[in-house]
C-alpha cells in the first residue's frame, strides 16, 4: 500500500472514531432529563427486547498502575478492598434499570471494559455476572466478552468467566518493544501474552483479540515488524490496530514523553502500512477502521453478510438498539438517545445513594440525527451508503455533496448521484469519509476534541 504524502497530510485531521452520532462533545451540557431518558429506555426496550435483546457494557475502572498513553476513565489503586463496594454500586444501578423495564430483559451481549476488569478477583467477577443475569433470559445468539491485561489475567479469571458464559477475550498488547513499553509504563513480556492466549484457547474461548497501537513513543518500522512477527506467531482471531490518540490536554499522563518522541504524519502512517501488510500476508482480512480478523471469525463474516454494527464498544456482530452502560463514565445508547454516567466513583456512589441514576450528560436524537447516524454506520460498517430514499436527501445535496466530490477527486470514494462506495485506499481514511455526513462538525472547533485520523 502506498499513498502520497500530500494526501496523508490533507486527511490527518482531528476527527471522531464514530462510535456515536452526534459524538460526545456535541451532546447537551444542561443537566440530564432523567424522566425523558427513562421513557426513551422503556420505549426502545419494548420495541426490541424480545427479538434483538439488549446489550450491557459494564465499566470496571480500577488499575494497579498507570499506563501513560491511556485515554480511558480509570482509577489507580492497589487497594482491592474497593472491589465489593464498587460491584454493589453497579448492581444497584442495574436494579434501578430493571425496575424501569416492563418485562424480563433478554441479554444479547455483555462486555466488561476498563480500567482493568481483571483487577477484580475471579470470585468477584463471578458474583457480578451471576447477579446481573439473575431473573433474565439469554438470547440464543448471546455473546459475552471482556478485556484482560496479560500481566494479571490468570487461569482462574479465564475459567471463572468462561463458566458464566464468556467466550471472547481481548488483550491489550499495544506493543512488544521493551523501549516502547517502558515509555508508556506498560511492561509486559511476550511470555505473558503467549501464556494467556494459550490458556484462553485451552479453556474454550473461541475468539481472542489483541489490541495494538501505532504512533506510540519510540516506535519504528523495525520495532513494529518485530511486534507483528511475535503477534502473528500467536495467531489471534482478531486484531485491532489503533492509531494512538495523543490528547495531552485531556490526559496529563501523556505529558510523560515529548511529542518529539512520537512518529508523525508519513512516518506514523508507514507504521500502520507495515502492520497492515504483515497482517494481510498472514491471512487476516480488513474489517474496517483499524480492525482485522481471520476469514473464519464472526466479525469478518458479519461484514460479509452486512450485519456488522458499531457502537460504544466498537465493532460488534450484535446490532441491538438498546445498550445500557453500567458503572462510572459508562455510556448508554437507546437509539433515540444517549446518556453518559458521571466520571468519578465518588459522584457515582453519591447519586446512587440518593436513589438517582448517576447521569452526567446526554443527547436526544431528532429524526435527522437518526438518519445521519444510519449513513455514518453504513459507511463505517459496510463501506457504502445510499440516500436515494433518505429523509435528509436534500440536505445531503446542499451540505454534504461538495465534501463527497472532494473525497472522490482524491480517490477515496466512488460517487454516484445518490450513493457512494469506499475505495480500497479510502478505507484508510474511513473516519474522514464518515465525517462528511457529520453536520455537527461544522459548528465549532474540533482540534482539541478528537485525535487525528492518522
Cβ–Cβ under 8 Å, residues 344 and 351 = no
Residues 356, 162: Cα–Cα separation, whole Å: 33
Q: Would you state the cell numbers that stand for residue 283, as one nine-digit string?
A: 491471512
Judge whether 67 is annotated as a binding position.
yes
Report CA-CA distances (Å) from 280 to 227, 273, 297: 15, 11, 15
Judge whether 174 is annotated as a binding position.
yes
Contacts of 108 (CB under 8 A, 6+ apart): 52, 53, 54, 55, 139, 141, 142, 143, 318, 320
Cβ–Cβ under 8 Å, residues 200 and 176 = no
Judge whether 114 is annotated as a binding position.
yes
Residues 115, 7: Cα–Cα separation, whole Å: 36
Spatial CA neighbour of 161 closest among 174, 143, 137: 143
* CA 49 from centre of chain: 23
Angle among Cα 181, 185, 187 to the nearest 5 degrees reads 50
Judge whether 147 is annotated as a binding position.
yes
Spatial CA neighbour of 294 closest among 306, 286, 302: 286
Report CA-CA distances (Å) from 98 to 135, 320, 360, 409: 10, 17, 20, 51
Residues 235, 251: Cα–Cα separation, whole Å: 33
Residues 311, 332: Cα–Cα separation, whole Å: 10
Judge whether 116 is annotated as a binding position.
yes
Q: Would you state the cell numbers that stand for residue 327, as one nine-digit string?
A: 458503572
Judge whether 283 is annotated as a binding position.
no
Judge whether 331 is annotated as a binding position.
yes
Judge whether 69 is annotated as a binding position.
yes
Question: Which residue matches cell numbers 434499570?
Answer: 97
Contacts of 221 (CB under 8 A, 6+ apart): 270, 271, 274
Report CA-CA distances (Å) from 357 to 90, 112, 241, 278: 11, 20, 35, 46
Judge whether 211 is annotated as a binding position.
yes
Residues 382, 369: Cα–Cα separation, whole Å: 19
- 3-class DSSP assignment, residue 247: coil
Judge whether 186 is annotated as a binding position.
yes
Cβ–Cβ under 8 Å, residues 411 and 433 = no
Annotation: binding site for S-adenosyl-L-methionine: 57, 69-71, 114-116, 147, 174, 186, 211, 245, 331
Annotation: binding site for [4Fe-4S] cluster: 63, 67, 70
Annotation: binding site: 57, 63, 67, 69-71, 114-116, 147, 174, 186, 211, 245, 331
Amino acid at each position: 500500500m502506498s499513498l502520497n504524502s500530500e494526501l496523508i497530510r490533507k486527511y490527518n485531521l482531528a476527527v471522531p472514531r464514530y462510535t456515536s452520532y452526534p459524538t460526545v462533545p456535541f451532546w447537551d451540557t444542561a443537566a440530564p432529563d432523567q424522566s425523558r431518558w427513562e421513557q426513551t429506555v422503556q420505549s426502545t426496550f419494548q420495541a426490541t427486547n424480545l427479538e434483538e435483546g439488549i446489550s450491557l457494557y459494564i465499566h470496571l475502572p480500577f488499575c494497579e498502575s498507570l499506563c501513560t498513553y491511556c485515554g480511558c476513565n480509570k482509577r489507580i489503586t492497589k487497594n482491592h478492598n474497593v472491589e465489593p463496594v464498587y460491584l454493589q454500586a453497579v448492581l444497584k444501578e442495574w436494579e434501578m434499570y430493571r425496575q424501569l423495564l416492563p418485562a424480563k430483559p433478554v441479554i444479547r451481549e455483555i462486555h466488561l471494559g476498563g480500567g482493568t476488569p481483571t483487577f477484580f478477583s475471579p470470585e468477584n467477577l463471578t458474583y457480578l455476572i451471576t447477579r446481573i443475569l439473575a431473573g433474565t433470559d439469554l438470547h440464543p445468539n448471546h455473546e459475552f466478552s471482556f478485556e484482560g491485561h496479560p500481566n494479571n489475567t490468570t487461569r482462574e479469571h479465564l475459567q471463572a468467566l468462561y463458566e458464566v458464559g464468556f467466550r471472547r477475550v481481548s488483550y491489550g498488547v499495544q506493543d512488544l518493544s521493551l523501549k516502547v513499553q517502558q515509555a508508556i509504563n506498560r511492561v509486559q513480556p511476550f511470555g505473558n501474552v503467549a501464556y494467556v492466549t494459550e490458556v484462553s484457547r485451552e479453556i474454550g474461548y473461541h475468539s481472542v483479540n489483541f489490541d495494538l497501537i501505532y504512533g506510540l513513543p519510540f516506535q519504528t518500522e523495525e520495532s513494529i515488524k518485530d511486534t507483528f512477527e511475535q503477534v502473528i506467531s500467536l495467531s489471534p482471531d482478531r486484531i485491532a490496530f489503533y492509531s494512538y490518540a495523543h490528547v495531552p490536554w485531556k490526559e496529563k499522563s501523556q505529558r510523560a514523553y515529548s511529542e518529539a518522541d512520537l512518529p508523525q504524519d508519513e512516518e506514523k502512517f508507514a507504521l500502520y502500512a507495515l502492520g497492515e501488510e504483515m497482517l494481510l500476508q498472514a491471512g487476516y482480512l480488513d474489517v474496517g477502521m483499524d480492525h482485522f480478523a481471520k476469514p473464519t471469525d464472526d466479525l469478518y463474516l458479519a461484514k460479509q453478510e452486512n450485519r456488522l454494527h458499531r457502537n460504544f464498544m466498537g465493532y460488534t456482530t450484535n446490532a441491538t438498539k438498546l445498550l445500557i452502560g453500567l458503572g462510572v463514565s459508562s455510556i448508554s445508547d437507546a437509539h433515540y438517545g444517549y446518556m453518559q454516567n458521571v466520571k468519578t466513583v465518588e459522584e457515582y456512589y453519591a447519586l446512587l445513594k440518593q436513589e438517582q441514576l448517576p447521569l452526567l450528560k446526554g443527547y436526544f436524537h431528532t429524526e435527522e440525527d437518526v438518519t445521519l447516524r444510519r449513513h455514518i454506520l453504513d459507511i463505517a460498517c459496510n463501506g457504502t451508503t445510499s440516500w436515494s430514499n433518505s429523509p435528509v436527501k436534500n440536505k445531503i445535496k446542499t451540505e454534504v455533496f461538495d465534501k463527497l466530490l472532494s473525497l472522490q477527486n482524491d480517490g477515496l470514494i466512488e460517487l454516484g448521484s445518490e450513493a457512494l462506495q469506499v475505495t480500497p485506499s479510502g478505507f484508510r481514511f474511513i473516519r474522514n469519509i464518515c465525517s462528511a455526513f457529520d453536520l455537527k462538525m461544522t459548528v465549532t472547533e474540533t482540534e482539541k476534541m478528537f485525535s487525528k485520523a492518522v
